[in-house]
């Protein structure tokens, strides 16, 4: 690299180093201060007003979605991002398919408990945060599940003809999101959350909106290859957690020998009867289990 190039790229180099330091603090157990999360008060309720922001510059979609697994076996916890996020084969998906197709209700129950979970990421602007007023007026990343994404979908595609569709991620025609959090049956519940009347974020002028937009974080990072382990690495971790024989990778050529697949399923079912437990999570994170495994069973 020439000196002229070094000088020209000095700002970019600094930004890259800063990003690497942020990654290190996250992987070493430090709190990721880029993220915002709601908080309950002493009465067991939580309230905040946020605004979903447009897709970051250079990106097309204002959210990122990641499939993951979190369950416990005899060898500990399996908490990993799923390669299905990248439209690739994943060892837990392959194993769950075997279990689901075995015909055993016991196997199906195991598969249900280790099913994948869908998480979304987006940028938000915090308008009101009674629990932490210092967050107000700042841009954060926000991680959320299916329940809140359903609210977004309903706003964009309303079910009734007297409701006008809105783009919640638009600075000018979007709407503030009133996040109302309760604990129902031991889980966080967002059912009462709702969008306010559409309007310009904060009644700000374009200069202020541009300042806010410039602070948005890239969402492409969440589906980057370096956020996912290889199939072989995940299979090894899965086998360690299950204390079982190696998982059979179900590629297209594997289906040509159905007897060998069924034999492996039978072996797994008879030799591996761990007591699985799913990681505790709110119902807003739940995927449709039956339809998910039905799709798995139909794959060629």
pLDDT digits (tens, 9 = 90+) for 61-114: 999 999 999 999 999 999 999 999 999 999 999 999 999 999 999 999 999 999
Which of these ranges, 9-13, 33-37, 79-83, 177-181, has the smallest mean pLDDT?
A: 9-13
What is the spatial distance between Cα 225 and Cα 14, in angstroms, rounded to a whole number? 23
The model's confidence at residue 183, banded by pLDDT at 50, 70 and 90, is confident
DSSP calls for 33-46:
TTEE-----TTSEE
pLDDT of residue 15: 60
Sign of CA dihedral 149, 151, 155, 159: positive
Instruction: Give the span between the Cα atoms of 24 and 29, in whole angstroms.
Output: 9
In terms of Cα–Cα distance, which of 181, 177, 192 is closest to 282? 181
For residue range 71-82, list pLDDT tens digits in order: 999 999 999 999
pLDDT band at residue 248 using 50, 70 and 90 as cut-offs: low
CB 202 within 8 A of CB 127: yes
The region that residue 243 occupies, defined by phi over 0 for left and psi between -120 and 50 for alpha, beta otherwise, is left
pLDDT of residue 87: 95
- Per CATH, the number for 33-64+119-225 is 3.90.198.10
- The partner residues of 51 in beta bridges, in order of sequence, read 125
Q: What is the pLDDT of residue 187?
A: 84
Backbone angles phi, psi at 30, to 5 degrees: -75, 155
pLDDT at 282 over 60: no
* Structure tokens given for 196: 């306010």
Q: 160 to each of 153, 154, 155, 195, 218, how far by Cα in Å?
A: 13, 10, 11, 16, 34
What proportions of the chain, in percent to the nearest 5, are helix, strand and coil? 40, 20, 40
Left (φ > 0), alpha (ψ -120 to 50) or beta: where does 137 sit? left
Share of the chain above pLDDT 70, in %: 71
Residue 105: C-alpha distances to residues 149, 170, 237 (Å): 31, 47, 25
Structural contact between residues 71 and 227, judged by C-beta atoms closer than 8 angstroms = no
Q: Where are the domains of the chain?
A: 33-64+119-225, 89-115+228-298
Query: Sorting pLDDT into bands at 50, 70 and 90, what band is 290?
Result: very low
């Amino acid at each position: 690299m020439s000196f002229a190039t070094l000088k020209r790229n000095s700002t970019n180099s600094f930004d890259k180093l800063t990003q690497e330091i942020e990654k290190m603090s996250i992987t070493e157990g430090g709190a990721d201060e880029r993220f915002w999360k709601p908080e309950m008060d002493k009465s067991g309720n939580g309230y905040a007003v946020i605004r979903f922001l447009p897709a970051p510059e250079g990106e097309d979609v204002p959210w990122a979605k990641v499939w993951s697994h979190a369950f416990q076996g005899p060898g500990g916890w399996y908490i990993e991002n799923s390669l299905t996020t990248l439209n690739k084969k994943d060892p837990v998906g392959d194993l769950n398919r075997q279990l689901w197709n075995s015909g055993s209700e016991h196997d199906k129950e195991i598969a249900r408990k280790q099913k994948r979970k869908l998480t979304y990421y987006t940028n938000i602007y915090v308008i009101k945060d009674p629990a932490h007023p210092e967050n107000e007026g700042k841009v954060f990343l926000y991680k959320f599940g299916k329940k809140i994404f359903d609210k977004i979908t309903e706003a964009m595609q309303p079910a009734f003809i007297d409701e006008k569709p809105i783009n919640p991620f638009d600075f000018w025609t979007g709407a503030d999101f009133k996040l109302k959090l309760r604990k129902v049956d031991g889980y966080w519940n967002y059912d009462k959350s709702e969008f306010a009347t559409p309007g310009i974020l904060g009644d700000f002028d374009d200069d202020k909106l541009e300042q806010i937009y410039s602070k948005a974080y890239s969402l492409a990072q969440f589906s980057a290859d370096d956020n996912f382990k290889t199939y072989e690495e995940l299979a090894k971790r899965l086998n360690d957690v299950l204390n079982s024989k190696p998982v059979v990778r179900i590629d297209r050529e594997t289906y040509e020998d159905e007897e060998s697949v069924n034999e492996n399923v039978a072996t797994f079912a008879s030799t591996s009867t761990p007591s699985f437990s799913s990681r505790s999570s709110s119902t807003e994170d739940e995927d449709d289990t039956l339809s998910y495994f039905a799709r798995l069973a139909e794959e060629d």
